[in-house]
Amino acid sequence: MNKLIATIELIRGKLETLRRHSLKETPTRTIVVDPLLEAMGWDVRDPEEVQLEYPTIDGKSVDYALMINRKPVLLVEAKALDDPLDDVKAITQVVGYAANGGIVWCALTNGIRWKVYRSVEKCPAPDKLMFEVSLDPREAQDMSVHELAKGLWRLSREQMAEGTLDTLGEQTFTDGKVRKALNQVVADPPAALLKAIRKAAKDEALKPQRIRESLARIWPGVAAGEAPPAPITARPTQRSPKTPARSQAGPKTRKPRRVVPPKHGTHYDESRHTSGKPQEVLEIYRAIDRACLSMSPESIEKQYRNNRINYCFSNFIFCVLRIRKSKVDVWLTLPYAAISNPPSFARDVSNLGHWRLGDVQLAVRALSQVDEAIPLIRQSFESVAGTGTHTA
């Protein structure tokens, strides 16, 4: 991966110069795409490994077909350097080429941004987006070149031969389908499920309605994404967040941010934040979302704003999410000094621009990091709820 890191650094160093020349597709391929593919272990000069202008069943062609044992495993369609890659027609076209050819993976790129799709999914082409990597320093300010290379390395010849992306893609999309199905089942549980729960609980006195209500409490976020949840009136706590006690030994922090109602006439829903985002990032969001709502299922209010999602307890925000193209940003109502052994993806933003929420920001880029993030989210919730040692 060292060669890929060096290539990314080289391209980023001359990116502004390349942009001034407004590179069309052919020079973009020659100057940017080809070197990156070479750095990922693909020999673009060997037609048995990389077939250029790969023919499709409708008589057209795709710029690159990357081959393993002479079998195409990834189609790559290149665009001009300044192409935003948002054209639905272009996305549908390359995804269709892959699907019709029995090729699972395809990518759309302008050399700097790489959007990778799993063509075999049964959904609209844009929703087949698995992950996205941008090498643009302006879009990846908090990512090291090593992290960028690690994301792009999934497309390397080595990883494609090992089936790493196949395994990750199947798991990610399957989790999304199962989660959606469970939400639907819990929202309207069939009689067989209610009966099975009562039998497993070994309590014949459990009535179906009691089980339904319990499912709604312990499975927060039911049908998330289909409709915004109704506001929930928070239950009073033993210690009001307005006048919480403060541990004398604990670090000081600003007061938690009170919920501000949206402007009159404005209404946002979850689709504003999830539309067009990669499936991998959405699974990270769903995991964090469930963790936030599970802190106190009957008392957490989830609010959709223009550019963020707020999680509130007793009219105070304890967590804010922003879903981006390659990660989920999380802001917490905590002083950074209150965290013991902070994870590598946490940072102190007390002197940076943030949502006036606290001093901690998490940049969660993998599901494996969610387990490390949840204890910090709980710590923030307890701070706002007045039950933690570091209240705000």
Structural domain spans, the chain = 2-162, 164-219, 237-385
Residue 389 DSSP one-character state = S
What local confidence, expressed as pLDDT, does residue 330 receive?
A: 95
Three-state DSSP class for residue 313: strand
Question: For residues 203 and 210, is the Cβ–Cβ distance under 8 A?
Answer: no
What is the spatial distance between Cα 217 and Cα 233, in angstroms, rounded to a whole number? Answer: 14
Beta bridge partners of 243: none
CB 365 within 8 A of CB 267: no
E strands within the chain?
A: 50-55, 61-68, 71-78, 105-109, 113-118, 129-134, 300-304, 309-313, 316-323, 328-332, 346-348, 360-364
Q: How many CA atoms lie within 13 A of 216 on its CB side?
A: 11
Is residue 286 within 8 Å of residue 302, measured between CB atoms?
A: no
SS3 11: helix
pLDDT at residue number 256: 55
Tally of helices (H runs) and strands (E runs) in the chain: 13, 12
Question: What pLDDT was estimated at residue 356?
Answer: 64
**CATH classification code of 2-162:** 3.90.1570.30
pLDDT at residue 363, as a whole number: 94
Each residue's pLDDT expressed in tens, for the chain with a length of 392 residues: 999 999 999 999 999 999 999 999 999 999 999 999 999 999 999 999 999 999 998 889 999 999 999 999 999 999 999 999 999 999 999 999 999 999 999 999 999 999 999 999 999 999 999 999 999 999 887 789 999 999 999 999 999 999 999 999 999 999 999 988 988 898 889 999 999 999 999 998 899 999 998 888 777 655 443 433 333 333 333 333 333 333 334 444 455 555 555 555 568 899 999 999 999 999 999 999 999 998 888 889 999 998 899 999 988 899 999 999 999 999 998 899 999 989 999 999 887 765 566 789 999 999 999 999 999 999 999 998 885 443 33
- The reported pLDDT for the residue numbered 257 is 54
